[in-house]
């Protein structure tokens, strides 16, 4: 195992530093590349809705983290997007269930772009007037998400599996929920969660760790921080699935479906459990399985059919999703395959193939500047490293997958969602 860990560390080749402020800086230097990709992320996402900040209980309306992501690009000096445009950088941001990330890619003026990124996130600026303007803009974005079949599948599946967990709410919230936001509430969020100790700066490409750390020093992000107290409840939803089935109609070319399973949450830093969830999903219907080949060869699914594990602090779900003219038949075949694997055990040869494929994918992401930064950031936010993920995967055996299948993907934890074409809508190709 020690040899595997050493090989994993050498393959990842990531240097890191933890500053006096608590900020973690990760760097994968790739000198043969012309691009630098930087990500500044905080462990604060859409499911963080209730917490106690320095003894004061705080409740956030749905969509707060996403709204805050939009507002962080504004300052009294102007729009950060315009600043990035003047340096030739491409900037963006996104919010997930558990974290928010701000990023840029650039080939030139890297130090200047780092200064823009760190200053933007480190100096929030909110007014009632700018909040009111953004509420209208995000309201349109919410409506756009409602028109996305893929997103509706995911949200409807999570609403079937969970009655109260925040994961069932749209990441962007609702028009009504974001209407209640105030500058005071947003500043509370930045004070509580946009602290260096809750954040990570990741850079990959033609850049050094020393260069990234120096940018943090210029921004004042290396200084020790005042102590603070923040606690968040860990309420895990158990009991019967709230809703077994949902069926709705949207303007899609063919039916879409999701077969979803509620699982026990994955503890922060539990790399083994997270990896097992991924490998079990691949063993059921991944591209190397007989089931996938059967479904694809018989025209029951298209190449987008897949299984995914979605996890937050308090929730975990496995979703098998795709398009099919016979969605209920595909769902039945999935159920039969899960039951067979639980009864007979996994094929050791298939297990090795899937494991090698996952290992290859972990190494492949390190060859791209953006992918490397993204994976390094994601691992840190989950409480681990890419080296941890590689060594954990290497240690797994078919017996581990067999054991996991005895408690995963259980019928009593299952829900089914189907989106049908709106009656009268044209079929694909018409």
What's the pLDDT at 425? 53
Residue 25 has pLDDT above 90, yes or no: yes
Task: Return the closest-CA partner of residue 213 out of 33, 18, 14.
Answer: 18
Percent of the chain with pLDDT over 90: 85
Among positive and negative, which fits the CA dihedral 277, 278, 281, 282?
negative
- List, for residues 296-329, the tens digit of each pLDDT value: 999 999 999 999 999 999 999 999 999 999 999 9
What's the pLDDT at 4? 63
Residue 283: count other Cβ atoms within 10 Å of its Cβ. 27
Residue 161 has pLDDT above 60, yes or no: yes
Return d(Cα 166, Cα 159) in angstroms, integer. 10
Q: Pull the structure tokens for residue 11.
A: 């393959």
Q: What average pLDDT score do residues 382-410 get?
A: 95
Q: How confident is the model at residue 38 (pLDDT cuts 50, 70, 90)?
A: very high
3-state helix, strand, coil split of the chain in percent (to 5) is 45, 20, 35
Residue 429 has pLDDT above 50, yes or no: no
Q: Pull the structure tokens for residue 161.
A: 């599996």
DSSP state string for 25-60: EEEEE-TT-S-EEEEEEES--TT--EEEETTEEEE-
Q: Which residues pair with 91 in a beta bridge?
A: 104
Q: Please name the residue ranges forming H helices in 72-194.
A: 80-87, 110-122, 128-146, 149-161, 175-178, 183-193
Q: Which residues pair with 17 in a beta bridge?
A: 25
Q: What average pLDDT score do residues 25-39 get?
A: 96
Sole residue written with tokens 């999935």: 334
Q: How confident is the model at residue 133 (pLDDT cuts 50, 70, 90)?
A: confident
Q: Calculate the average pLDDT of the chain.
A: 93
Q: How confident is the model at residue 228 (pLDDT cuts 50, 70, 90)?
A: confident
Phi, psi of 100 (to 5 degrees): -125, 140
Instruction: Label residue 288 left, alpha or beta by phi (over 0 means left) and psi (-120 to 50 means alpha).
Output: alpha
What's the pLDDT at 260? 98
Q: Pull the structure tokens for residue 91.
A: 């900037």
- List, for residues 245-271, the tens digit of each pLDDT value: 999 999 999 999 999 999 999 999 999
Q: Pull the structure tokens for residue 424.
A: 């009268």
CA atoms within 13 A on the CB side of 255: 18
Task: Return the closest-CA partner of residue 257 out of 272, 247, 242, 267.
Answer: 247
What's the pLDDT at 424? 65
Q: Please name the residue ranges forming H helices in 147-182.
A: 149-161, 175-178
Q: How confident is the model at residue 226 (pLDDT cuts 50, 70, 90)?
A: confident
What's the pLDDT at 76? 82
Is residue 241 within 8 Å of residue 319, measured between CB atoms? no
- List, for residues 77-115, the tens digit of each pLDDT value: 788 999 999 999 999 999 999 999 999 999 999 999 999
Return d(Cα 195, Cα 234) in angstroms, integer. 21
């Amino acid at each position: 195992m020690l040899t595997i860990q050493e090989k994993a560390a050498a393959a990842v080749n990531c240097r890191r530093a933890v500053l006096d402020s608590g900020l973690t800086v990760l760097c994968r230097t790739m000198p043969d590349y012309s691009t630098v990709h930087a990500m500044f992320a905080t462990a604060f996402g859409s499911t963080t809705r209730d917490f106690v900040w320095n003894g004061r209980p705080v409740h956030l309306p749905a969509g707060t983290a996403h709204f805050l992501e939009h507002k962080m690009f504004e300052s009294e000096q102007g729009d950060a997007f315009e600043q990035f445009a003047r340096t030739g950088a491409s900037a963006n941001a996104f919010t997930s269930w558990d974290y928010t990330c701000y990023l840029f890619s650039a080939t030139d003026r890297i130090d200047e772009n780092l200064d823009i990124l760190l200053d933007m996130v480190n100096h929030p600026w909110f007014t009632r007037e700018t909040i009111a303007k953004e509420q209208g803009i995000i309201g349109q974005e919410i409506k756009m998400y409602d028109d996305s079949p893929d997103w509706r599948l995911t949200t409807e599946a999570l609403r079937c599996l969970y009655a109260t967990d925040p994961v069932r709410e749209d990441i962007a919230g609702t028009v009504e929920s974001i209407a209640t936001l105030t500058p005071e509430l947003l500043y509370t969020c930045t004070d509580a969660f946009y602290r260096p100790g809750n954040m990570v700066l990741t850079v990959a490409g033609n850049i050094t760790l020393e260069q990234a750390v120096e940018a943090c020093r210029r921004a004042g992000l290396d200084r020790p921080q005042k102590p603070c107290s923040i606690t968040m409840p860990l309420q895990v939803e158990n009991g019967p699935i709230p809703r077994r089935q949902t069926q709705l109609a949207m303007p899609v070319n063919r039916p879409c479906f999701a077969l979803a399973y509620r699982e026990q949450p994955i503890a922060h830093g539990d790399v083994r459990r997270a990896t097992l969830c991924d490998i079990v999903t691949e063993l059921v219907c991944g591209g190397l399985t007989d089931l996938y080949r059967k479904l694809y060869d018989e025209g029951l699914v298209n190449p987008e059919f897949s299984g995914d594990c979605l996890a937050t602090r308090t929730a975990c779900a496995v979703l098998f999703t795709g398009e099919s003219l016979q969605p209920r038949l595909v769902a039945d075949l999935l159920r039969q395959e899960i039951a067979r694997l639980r009864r007979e055990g996994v094929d050791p040869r298939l297990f090795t193939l899937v494991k090698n494929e996952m290992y290859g994918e972990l190494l492949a992401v390190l060859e791209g500047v953006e992918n490397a930064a993204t994976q390094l950031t994601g691992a840190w936010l989950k409480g681990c490293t890419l080296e941890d993920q590689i060594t954990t995967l290497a240690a797994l055996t078919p017996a581990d997958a067999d054991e996991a299948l005895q408690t995963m993907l259980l019928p009593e934890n299952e829900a089914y969602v189907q989106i049908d074409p709106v009656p009268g809508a044209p079929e694909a190709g018409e």
